[in-house]
Amino acid sequence: MVLVDTSVWVDYFNGVKTPQADQLDQLLGSGRLLTGDLILAELLQGFARDADYRAARKLLLELPCVDLVGRESAHLAADCYRRLRTRGVTVRKTIDVLIGAYCIRHGHALLHADRDFDPMVRHLGLRVLQ
């Protein structure tokens, strides 16, 4: 399964042509995509127009949605953050560490366009969709 980060969804809904947005477009309807509770909150809060919000919400409701946060995920995310920090890497957003930790824990690939995930790939074994 592939979890799609907010960074890719934003480009997709804004019509920005990126390799990741193109991959997302190809994967829609494949049954391989997941979204997560935190990603939904981040993404949907950004829509200014009600019509755009409703269209995005309708599309996202068709995807399986996982709970990215729970006690085990929180502990793993804290461990991941601390392991990165010992290597001199500070991830800017806690949500990104939670998303990365969830993917690591469940063996899912992540489709993203956010440099904060790069150290998780290098040092923690996060799988990403290329």
- Taken in order 44, 100, 28, 34, the sign of the CA dihedral is negative
Say which CATH number the domain at 59 has. Answer: 3.40.50.1010
On whether residue 130 sits in a domain, the answer given is no
On whether residue 18 sits in a domain, the answer given is yes
With pLDDT > 90 as the criterion, what percentage of the chain qualifies? 96
What range does the domain containing 103 cover? Answer: 2-124
- CA dist., res. 110 & res. 125, Å (int): 11
Structure tokens at 88: 């001199």
- Taken in order 90, 93, 94, 97, the sign of the CA dihedral is negative
Summarised one tens digit per residue, pLDDT across range 39-89 is: 999 999 999 999 999 999 999 999 999 999 999 999 999 999 999 999 999
On whether residue 129 sits in a domain, the answer given is no
> Does the pLDDT value for residue 99 go beyond 80?
yes
On whether residue 116 sits in a domain, the answer given is yes
The reported pTM is: 0.94
Number of domains in the chain: 1
Given the structure tokens 């960074």, which residue do they identify? Answer: 7
pLDDT of residue 130: 77
Q: Rounded mean pLDDT of the chain?
A: 96
With contact defined as beta carbons under 8 Å apart, do 110 and 18 qualify? Answer: no
